[in-house]
Amino acid sequence: MNMHENARMTVHGRVLLVNRIVAGGWRVADAARAAGISERTAYKWLARFRAGGERMLHDRSSAPGRMPHATPVATIEAV
């Protein structure tokens, strides 16, 4: 997946952030400041890590999981 041009952190930076907090005993505010992100964002990544481990720190697709009002297949085929 391509990195967003304004993204502050890559997956490696997120892993480092979480490791500093969990294993290193850093305060969330200090780890966030060192990473150049907000404390709120640091808590978001920490919560994702606690919910599913390191795999949750990877980029996710922004595409919707479902589209309830999508154009019917028959209409698409007719066009």
Give the per-residue pLDDT at 10.
87
Distances, alpha carbon 9 to alpha carbons 25, 42, 60, 64, 78, in Å: 20, 11, 14, 23, 45
Give the per-residue pLDDT at 17.
96
What does pTM read for this prediction? 0.71
Q: Which residue has the tokens 């997946």?
A: 1
Give the per-residue pLDDT at 4.
63
Give the per-residue pLDDT at 59.
84
For 18-64, what is each residue's pLDDT tens digit? Answer: 999 999 999 999 999 999 999 999 999 999 999 999 999 988 888 88
Give the per-residue pLDDT at 64.
87
